[in-house]
């Protein structure tokens, strides 16, 4: 069974026979790792401030001007050469230090989510004048990745090992598929391995595949008229949207059970007494396999066409995003697990534990004990559920990631509780678990050629004859998709 198709199955038993541990690194690497951990601890106040600044910026996809500029400045100030505005995206960048092989990439995200304005407290309170919030913790994501890149740069500069480190500033992960454009532009060509992470409510090596996703905005055009005096003169664009939604909802009974379809009506008209001449609905279609996504999406398009025909309206649609499922690399994930266990989880102060229990009390369900943030989950395959443009990177270069407990255990992503945790010490402490683990894993990749060779061989076998093709086609970045 292909690892990137593992969804909806229990992890137990799927790894029939655990492969041997990754090749052992050179003996002196242990001291390098200790040095790196200590250096990151020493700079924690600086990185905490960067993360909280980005939390306060709360900029949505492709509009992360201040967030991107702060991360770029931090990298430049620490000796990186930064190429900004790559792949026709103003807020995307690639920061580089070193020369030659191996080339190790680190992914950095920094976009916020609309509609999740929230204070860094223990109750649901929006920030006045702000709509967005970091409900997926990307203020922490980008900062930890930059911190790891800077520490690796220091070790290269000190002559501890040779090679190149690249930090990729990747905007608009939340629906904008920012990394896909960087992949399409060839910016990962020649990279030997990529390390990433994601905020979470637990610490674990990522061994669950993000699922493939296609998204689009369907726009219906009708004829405006007085809804009471001359309704017969009008043709409602909103009727088109509602008819489409009804047909898609009936379709749910006849798609593979792992399929996920969600939508929001982004424009349903302006006044009840005016027949809407324009309406728009924004759709996501997901499945563990990209081929199933494309097939289901084609049926959604047919539903939209039928809805337009039946309501006397016209319809057009715009592909907004499209991402591959994540191709797992077990060799790299096992190496990362060793480093994650060395770093350990998050230890809260008594005050933070009290805050955590107050937040858990708002969840509405029983959550794991707050203390479990200090534990590292055992290495195992697990179910996936979300989508990420990291999937596209994983089909170009061997890719490995982790999650770190930046939110109180039990906290769901995309919630006000996640925003609140991401804006305080609970979040920034977890961020440093990720920064350290990525740094240590990259040290292994720089110093242990056998590990990289084994990971590359696994990657090539799993990709097989597949030739990468982006699901969003050749469209330009949807820079205004949040408008």
What are the strands, taking DSSP E only, across 173-250? 193-200, 204-205, 212-221
Return the pLDDT at 267: 98
Q: What confidence score (pLDDT) does residue 21 get? A: 57
Confidence at residue 385, expressed as pLDDT on a 0 to 100 scale: 75
E strand map for 109-211? 163-169, 193-200, 204-205
**Is beta strand 399-405 parallel, antiparallel or unpaired with respect to 193-200?**
parallel
Digit-by-digit pLDDT tens for the chain (483 residues) are 345 444 343 333 334 445 555 555 555 899 999 999 999 999 999 999 999 999 999 999 999 999 999 999 999 999 999 999 999 999 999 999 999 999 999 999 999 999 999 999 999 999 999 999 999 999 999 999 999 999 999 999 999 999 999 999 999 999 999 999 999 999 999 999 999 999 999 999 999 989 999 999 999 999 999 999 999 999 999 999 999 999 999 999 999 999 999 999 999 999 999 999 999 999 999 999 999 999 999 999 999 999 999 999 999 999 999 999 999 999 999 999 999 999 999 999 999 999 999 999 999 999 999 999 999 999 999 877 789 999 999 999 999 999 999 999 999 999 999 999 999 999 999 999 999 999 999 999 999 999 999 999 999 999 999 999 999 999 999 999 999
Instruction: Residue 363: name the closest of 407, 417, 427 by CA.
Output: 417
Nearest to 455 by CA among 333, 338, 326: 333
366 alpha carbon, distance to own chain's centre: 26
Instruction: Give the Å distances, CA to CA, from 90 to 83, 137, 182.
Output: 11, 22, 12
215's CB contacts (< 8 A; 6+ apart) are: 175, 282, 283, 284, 285, 319, 320, 321, 322
* Residue given tokens 């999406």 in the structure block: 297
Which one, of 201, 149, 179, lies nearest residue 40 by Cα? 149
- What torsion, rounded to 10 degrees, do the Cα atoms 402, 7, 332, 407 define? 10
Hey, CA dihedral for 322, 326, 332, 334, is it positive or negative? positive
Query: What is the reported pLDDT for 35?
Result: 96
- Using CA atoms in the order 197, 184, 281, 302, what is the torsion angle rounded to 10 degrees? -120
- Give dist(CA 145, CA 84) in Å, integer: 17
How far is CA 465 from each of CA 187, 209, 461, rounded to the nearest angstrom? 22, 20, 9
Q: What is the pLDDT of residue 16?
A: 41
Task: Check the CA dihedral 33-39-45-46 and report its sign.
Answer: negative
* Strands 260-267 and 278-287, bridge-based pairing: antiparallel
Which three-class secondary structure state does DSSP give residue 86?
Answer: helix
Q: b/e per residue, 25-36, with b = 16+ CB within 10 A? A: beeebeebbebb
Per residue, the 3-state secondary structure of 379-443, as one string, reads CCCCCCCCCCCHHHHHCCCCEEEEEEECCCCCCCCCCHHHHHHHCCHHHHHHHHHHHHHHHHHHH
Which tokens go with 318? 């715009």
pLDDT of residue 114: 97
Give the tens place of pLDDT for each residue, 221-251. 999 999 999 999 999 999 999 999 999 999 9
């Amino acid at each position: 069974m292909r690892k990137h198709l593992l969804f909806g199955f229990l992890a137990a038993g799927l790894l029939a026979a655990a492969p041997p541990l990754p090749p052992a690194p050179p003996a002196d690497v242990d001291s390098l790792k200790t040095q790196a951990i200590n250096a990151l601890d020493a700079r924690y106040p600086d990185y905490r401030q960067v993360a909280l600044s980005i939390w306060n910026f709360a900029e949505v996809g492709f509009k992360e001007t201040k967030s991107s500029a702060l991360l770029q400045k931090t990298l430049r100030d620490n000796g990186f050469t930064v190429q900004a505005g790559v792949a026709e995206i103003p807020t995307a960048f690639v920061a580089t230090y070193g020369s030659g092989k191996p080339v190790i990439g680190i992914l950095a995200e920094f976009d916020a989510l609309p509609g999740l304005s929230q204070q860094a407290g223990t109750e649901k309170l929006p920030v006045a004048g702000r709509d967005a919030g970091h409900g997926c913790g990307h203020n922490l994501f980008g900062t930890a990745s930059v911190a790891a890149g800077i520490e690796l740069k220091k070790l290269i500069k000190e002559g501890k090992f040779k090679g190149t480190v690249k930090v990729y500033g990747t905007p608009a992960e939340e629906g904008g598929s920012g990394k896909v454009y960087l992949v399409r532009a060839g910016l990962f060509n020649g990279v030997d391995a990529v390390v990433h992470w994601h905020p979470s409510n637990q610490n674990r090596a990522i061994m669950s595949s993000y699922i493939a996703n296609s998204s689009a905005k369907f726009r219906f055009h009708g004829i405006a008229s007085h809804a009471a005096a001359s309704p017969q003169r009008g043709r409602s664009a909103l009727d088109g949207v509602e008819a489409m939604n009804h047909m898609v909802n009936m379709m749910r009974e006849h798609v593979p059970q792992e399929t996920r379809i969600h939508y929001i009506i982004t424009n349903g008209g302006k006044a009840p007494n005016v027949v809407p001449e324009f309406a728009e609905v924004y759709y996501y279609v997901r499945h563990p396999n990209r081929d199933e996504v494309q097939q289901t999406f084609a049926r959604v398009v047919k539903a939209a066409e039928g809805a337009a025909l039946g309501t006397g309206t016209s319809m057009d649609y715009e592909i907004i995003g499209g991402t591959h499922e994540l191709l797992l690399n077990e060799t790299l994930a096992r190496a990362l697990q060793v480093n994650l266990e060395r770093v350990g989880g998050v230890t809260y102060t008594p005050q933070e534990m009290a805050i955590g229990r107050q937040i858990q009390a708002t969840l509405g369900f029983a959550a794991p004990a707050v203390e479990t943030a200090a534990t590292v989950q055992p290495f195992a395959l697990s179910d996936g559920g979300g989508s990420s443009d990291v999937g596209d990177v994983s089909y170009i270069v061997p890719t490995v990631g982790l999650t770190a407990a930046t939110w109180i255990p039990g906290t769901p992503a995309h919630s006000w509780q996640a925003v609140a945790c991401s804006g305080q010490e609970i979040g920034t402490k977890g961020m440093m678990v990720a920064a350290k683990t990525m740094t240590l894993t990259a040290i292994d990749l720089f110093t242990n050629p056998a590990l990289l060779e084994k990971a590359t061989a696994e990657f090539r076998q799993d990709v097989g004859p597949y030739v990468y093709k982006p699901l969003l086609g050749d469209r330009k970045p949807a820079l205004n998709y949040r408008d």
